[in-house]
Amino acid sequence: MIAGMSEVTGGPRALLKRPAAYVSLQRLLGADASHRRFADEHIRAAAGDRVLDLGCGPGDALRVLPDVDYLGVDLSAEYIESARRRYGERGRFRVADVCADDLAGEGPFAVILAMGLLHHLDDDGVRRVLSEAAGLLGPDGRFVSIDPARAPGQHAIARWLVSLDRGRHVRSADELGRLAHEAMPDLRVTVRHDLLRVPYTHVVLETVR
């Protein structure tokens, strides 16, 4: 998370602030297999790559990454504590806001991830995060993000599940693509309906390299 994030946190969604509840729900929906496919097909990190994970949550990206030089950043101290407890031997974790804290000394990075982050941010927040990420990438570095999305004709179950997300800024692929291209013109936009074991729609942004 970063400062200024906009979330629906009332009712049952409040449970997802707890790392254990969040991880359990992800696994119930088939996120383990989804993350592996996403890593293989979109992240494509190599051993030794320097990886920055923005809004890293409990650090679950490390379950599907090779032996990389990893830094995870999240505003939630509770999530960072959970990540350190579970994956502290695999990487470093910081409580930080990418838009407010100086990460320039940590770069450059071969891969910058934003998994499930952008739909929590308003348009200005997305622009700030992508602009900061662009400045932290190495010459051949790649930015990769994934978020829930609205899409014409999407499965009714997918539309319902997306509507339950805590993020207040779920966009269509076209909307997110137009916004993202203001900061990173070389991003490719891909819509995926096949990453979870239940009907769901994701939008993936990735630097074309």
| pLDDT tens, position by position, 90-121 | 999 999 887 666 687 888 999 999 999 999 99
pLDDT in tens, 185-198: 999 999 999 998 88
Domain that holds residue 45: 11-207
Cross-strand partners of 92: 71
The strand pair at 202-207 and 187-192 is best described as: antiparallel
pLDDT band at 14 (very low <50, low <70, confident <90, very high): very low
Tell me, yes or no, whether 54 lies in a domain.
yes
Identify the H or E element spanning 137: strand 137-150
Tell whether 136 is covered by a domain: yes
Give 63-69 contacts, CB < 8 A, sequence gap 24+.
63/32, 63/35, 64/35, 64/36, 64/38, 64/39, 65/39, 68/111
CA 48 distance to own-chain centroid? 21
Tell me which DSSP letter residue 167 carries.
B
Q: Is residue 18 part of a domain?
A: yes
Task: Give the Cα-Cα-Cα angle 199, 202, 207 (nearest 5 degrees).
Answer: 155
Handedness of CA 98, 151, 21, 64 (dihedral sign): negative
Residue 32's pLDDT is 74
Q: What is the pLDDT of residues 126-183, one digit of tens each?
A: 999 999 999 999 999 999 999 999 999 999 999 998 988 888 999 999 999 999 999 9
* CATH label of the domain that carries residue 88: 3.40.50.150
The answer to whether 55 and 117 have CB atoms below 8 angstroms apart is yes
Residue 5 lies in a domain: no
What was the pLDDT predicted at 26?
Answer: 56
When pLDDT is cut at 50, 70 and 90, the band that residue 208 belongs to is confident
Whether the per-residue pLDDT at 23 is higher than 90: the answer is no
In a domain? residue 44: yes
Kindly state whether residue 4 falls inside one of the protein's structural domains.
no
pLDDT tens for 24-45 read 555 555 567 888 999 999 999 9
Q: For the chain, what is the mean pLDDT? A: 86
Q: Is residue 49 part of a domain?
A: yes
Number of domains in the chain: 1
Residue 51 lies in a domain: yes
